[in-house]
Structure 1
Amino acid sequence: MGPGLAPGFVLSYDMVFVPGPAFTRLTFGLTGTVPRHVPSDAVVTALAAVVPADVVQKLVLLAVFVMACTAAASLVPSRRLVPRLAAGVCYAWNPFVAERLLLGQWALLLGYAALPWVMAAAAGTDRPGGARRLVRALIPAAIGGFAALTVSGIAALTVAVVTGTGAGRARAGGRVVAAVGGLSLPWLVPGLLRPAGIPEDGAAVGAFAARADTPFGTLGSLLSLGGVWNGETVPAGYGAPVTAAVWLLVVVVALAAYARTGWGTGLGAAGAAGFAVAASGAVAGGALEGLIGLWAGFAVLRDGQQYVAPLAVVVAVGLGTAADRAADARLPLVAPAAVLAPLFLLPTLAWGAAGELRAVRYPADWARARQIIDSDRASGDVLVLPWAAYRSYPWNHGRRVLDPLPRYLHRRVIVNDAVAVGGVSGAAVAAEDPRAVRLNRAVAAGVPPASTLRDAGVRYVVADAETTANRPPGAVEVLRGPDLAVYRIDGVRPVRERTVPVVPVVAAWTAVCLLVSWSILAPRTTVGLPLLGGIHPRNPRRRVT
């Protein structure tokens, strides 16, 4: 984490933390926007009520690495520390983690960190207490939200079905579906009840499909646990022919060692299934577009690379197993080399990804703007200009970040949430916020006059201060600083917005709280997870404690 541990916030692409977050309708997905940030924003806001928000971010990011190392190490069938550390370091320090961290997807990484526990618990879902263990293991993914739960759910279902036998197979699969579905309610309910429906954009499959970031093509990059769609988030120096070849060799050796153990076939099946899903957008993009056309919910499969996470579990366990076998063969240097290999082959993940992930402070203008806007009792929303979802602020060292104002301000904020990828002309994903869709034509043609915004229910316009071109004609300037300008529009007419009903969302959160409480507080259960359901891989008659 390096410079990211300094006071302030690390802001990178989708990683948006703000000082003093508050619970708003946006937090719970009630505004009609797509609830991708649910329930992670709510958990962060709750934690920020106890400790400062920037400390919350640092604890979350550190927890990702600690959990990832611990969870992967727990699956290695060895009592030796060094082989388990080899698995832990490999799982916590690899191209997948680096690229997703630079992409700011901390919520996905939270689920990734606990995925080894999820896969182990899924193997014992049909045993007494197995359902409770699975729910507990899924809690980090549930906090992460839809992407983390989807990845974990596919992996867990595959493990449960493959390791089950007879009628127990269907029962185990049903319990996995019930657990994942129950924990998904906070984002699933507002998503299904969204007035505009689930957005459907199969044309974006090509934009978010896995891409080659090594000399070995897309499939070779995915096998190496890389292949992210955004070339700007590939770690510095990664993909060079020599280091990429050595890393691919390490992966192949790890997979071979895993295959020879003869245990945990569910993990291998989950890794293979995840790899197939990850490659689908690149090798069968038309088929995936067709699925999205049938049901928009399949759009969750567009960002293919995230589904190599189960394969990362297999690689990590395989590397730890190879190190353990080397120790059995009295090759003392192999196990330490296995621990250090990921660090040497991807050194630019160190020190905040070679300084990319630096903590910054929000400018004073932002605090002044929030004070002005939040203290105003008049109704009306906030429009953000320039009309773009991702911003490159000078005070954030020019690094792109999803506009923080919707979370920073405590009013309804309208931003252009259309996303362009990789320099593609136009938007790879069209705008999804109904308010942004209605204003898009007027704003795209130039800054609309105050009368147009007044009719649209806009009370304030917040714009970058470098230029006066973002000032709506007829608006009153109430703040101009070096970083932000705020304009007020008087006489705003209230606009009735179709939103998600509150009662079903409250019921969803209540159900999830009861489910989690049942898994944790049930008598005669422990928080610990048994290795592959409690069966020792080398001696089936021996229980693992």
Structure 2
Amino acid sequence: MVAAVTGLGLGLAALGPGLAPGFVLSYDMVFVPDPAFTRMTFGLTGVVPRHVPSDAFVTALAAVIPADVVQKLVLLAVFVMACTSAASLVPSRRLLPRLATGVCYAWNPFVAERLLLGQWALLLGYAALPWVVAAAPRAHEPGGTRRLARALLPAAIGGFAALTVSALTAVTVALATRGERRPRVVRVVVTAGVLSLPWLVPGLLRPAGVPGDGTAVGLFAARADTPFGTLGSLLALGGVWNGETVPRSYGAPVTATIWLLVVVVALAAYWRWGQERRGAVIAAMVGFVVASLGAVSPGGLEAVIDLWPGFAVLRDGQQYVAPLAVVVAVGLGLAADRAAEARWPGVAAAAMAVPVFLLPTLAWGAAGDLRAVQYPDDWARARHIIDGDPAQGDVLVLPWASYRSYSWNHGRRVLDPLPRYLHRRVIVDDAVTVDGTTVAPEDPRAVRLAPAARTGAPPAVTLRDEGVRYVVVDAEPGTIRPSGAATAVLRGADLVVYRIDGAAEATGDQVPVAPVAAAWAVASLFVFWSFVAPRTTLSIPLLGSIKPRDPHRRRTP
């Protein structure tokens, strides 16, 4: 309970102005008022289902709680779970060492950079990762699969990136733990696989196939944000690829050196006293290697992605230092516990304070970068017009770019919110440009419309033939518009809407509903079973055929 309250306090301190009424919009963090379940929510439109099932989770909560409150609760839950789960790994009756672990895990460069990057879904999985580390070695024991499923649930809600990191950690820990490896690893793999079905099935059934651009490895590779180079930055739990999401003042020589020393001491303490969880050390090592691949061996990672595009999930390497953060945090708690045994209670208190002291700019909305804003009234009027129109047709968003810097969002970059804000199919440029290099778009509709959309004046007849009913200009209104027979139905200071009559039926790039519905049903039943059926057994043949060893049965010589 104390760890949870401490995590809540850290979350309140970190969010600061983001707790005001409204929405925090930063890079990939897009929440909208009154979201609705659409085909996009479940990955049925043919776009890459990176937002599945996290969008469905938010939409379900927003049906009973205002959407801006949902966002605040989710972000606070990240800090509460992170502090609580990490504290639970320290085998000590003393409170301060456990709190030192929780604070370190909830307040560090990894959390700060991923929060500024808007990757709340990834942080959900990160927050529960210590529980995964604890559950994976016991997955083959009675009730172990249920415990593992519950531990992986936050990552499953987060989606493909969160679950990939957590599953890789769980498999590594299961392999590295002594004993019956095969039944343990099988259960870990099957559990992670079943929980992945809601995003895995629509991803594999995309008509355009599994996307993966190996040439983009260098764009998303870890980068130095401290004086210690890329590998030193990763060891310090930093190294995010986007330099704009590094917390203010982070990486200064003095504080960076002190923090790196803290990390080294924590790792040494874990190696010396963390005997019970050696698997976590192996997972941290594996994660560190994966995190550094894009920087150390970009050619090798490109070759792996060329073999199978699905390995593109490894491009954003820094996210794989998450298991290292578990080891660092627990190591700091173990060091504090040993210091308390030696009657140096001040060391434990200092260990709890040092992460916050060395990264003060995570506080108050990352020094004011994360602030709550309200969507302009023009957006609500546009939704009323577009969603209230019974005629068929999709929406095209201009200017043709994936990220926006709205004046009403204080100029902070954010992924275009209109695909979630409107309840129709919305076509946006999903190509990502970093340092002048562009990753190819993945949405087939965007690929076809890109040549016309890039001109800033796409012919209305071309859009009509592609099934576009509305064109929304949500930045630079008045300077961009479709050419030809397009009628302006809304002109506002923040947004302009054009209607194109006679839109054709959109060509089929959609994912079939039946297998996706089946995937959701299987995953939902599995989660339900993990919570409410402690005395039942799995009916999955692969799992049912593996029985835990009876600890009372004597071995034959």
Normalising to structure 1: TM-score of the pair? 0.94
- Confirm or deny that 1:460 pairs with 2:470: yes
Question: Which residue does 1:163 correspond to in 2?
Answer: 177
Change (3 A) 1:276 1:466: closer
Q: Secondary structure at the match of 1:490?
A: coil
Deviations 1:38-93 (A, max 9, x none): 00000000000010000000000000000000000000010110000000000000
- Confirm or deny that 1:142 pairs with 2:156: yes
Query: How many matched pairs?
Result: 520
Question: Which residue does 1:73 correspond to in 2?
Answer: 87
Question: Which residue does 1:533 correspond to in 2?
Answer: none
Cα distance in 2 between the residues matched to 1:98 and 1:200: 27
Q: Structure 1 regions of 5+ residues with no counterpart? A: 526-545
- Confirm or deny that 1:508 pairs with 2:519: yes
AA matched with 1:494 = E
Cα distance in 1 between the residues matched to 2:254 and 2:178: 42
Cα distance in 2 between the residues matched to 1:466 and 1:103: 24
Q: Structure 2 regions of 5+ residues with no counterpart? A: 1-14, 537-557
Q: Are the aligned partners of 1:5 and 1:359 in contact in 2 as well (CA < 8 Å)?
A: yes
Q: Residue 331 of structure 1 is aligned with which of 337, 344, 367?
A: 344
Q: Residue 280 of structure 1 is aligned with which of 286, 293, 299?
A: 293
Deviations 1:199-252 (A, max 9, x none): 120000010000000000000000000000000000000000000000000000
**Alignment of structure 1 residues 167-246 onto 2, 5 Å:** 168-246=180-258
Q: Secondary structure at the match of 1:264?
A: helix
AA matched with 1:212 = A
Cα distance in 2 between the residues matched to 1:82 and 1:446: 59
Deviations 1:82-140 (A, max 9, x none): 00000000000000000000000000000000000001000111221111110010000
Cα distance in 1 between the residues matched to 2:44 and 2:505: 18
Q: Residue 460 of structure 2 is aligned with which of 443, 450, 454?
A: 450
TM-superposed deviation, 1:512: 0.5
Moved more, 467-476 or 211-220: 467-476
Q: Residue 490 of structure 1 is aligned with which of 501, 516, 519?
A: 501
Q: Are the aligned partners of 1:466 and 1:482 in contact in 2 as well (CA < 8 Å)?
A: no
Question: Which residue does 1:15 correspond to in 2?
Answer: 29
Change (3 A) 1:132 1:464: closer
TM-superposed deviation, 1:498: 2.3
Q: Are the aligned partners of 1:164 and 1:172 in contact in 2 as well (CA < 8 Å)?
A: no
Question: Which residue does 2:549 correspond to in 1?
Answer: none
Q: Secondary structure at the match of 1:459?
A: strand
AA matched with 2:163 = L
- Confirm or deny that 1:413 pairs with 2:389: no
**Alignment of structure 1 residues 289-304 onto 2, 5 Å:** 289-304=302-317
Q: Residue 31 of structure 1 is aligned with which of 45, 51, 56?
A: 45
Normalising to structure 2: TM-score of the pair? 0.92
Cα distance in 2 between the residues matched to 1:21 and 1:467: 25
Moved more, 272-281 or 494-503: 494-503
Question: Which residue does 1:387 correspond to in 2?
Answer: 400
TM-superposed deviation, 1:465: 5.9
Question: Which residue does 1:252 correspond to in 2?
Answer: 264
Cα distance in 1 between the residues matched to 2:282 and 2:476: 54
Question: Which residue does 2:480 correspond to in 1?
Answer: 470
Q: Residue 140 of structure 2 is aligned with which of 112, 121, 126?
A: 126
Question: Which residue does 2:108 correspond to in 1?
Answer: 94
TM-superposed deviation, 1:464: 3.2
Question: Which residue does 1:438 correspond to in 2?
Answer: 448
TM-superposed deviation, 1:446: 3.5
Cα distance in 2 between the residues matched to 1:496 and 1:482: 34
Cα distance in 2 between the residues matched to 1:78 and 1:202: 46
Q: Secondary structure at the match of 2:110?
A: helix
TM-superposed deviation, 1:472: 1.2
Cα distance in 2 between the residues matched to 1:21 and 1:406: 10
AA matched with 1:445 = T
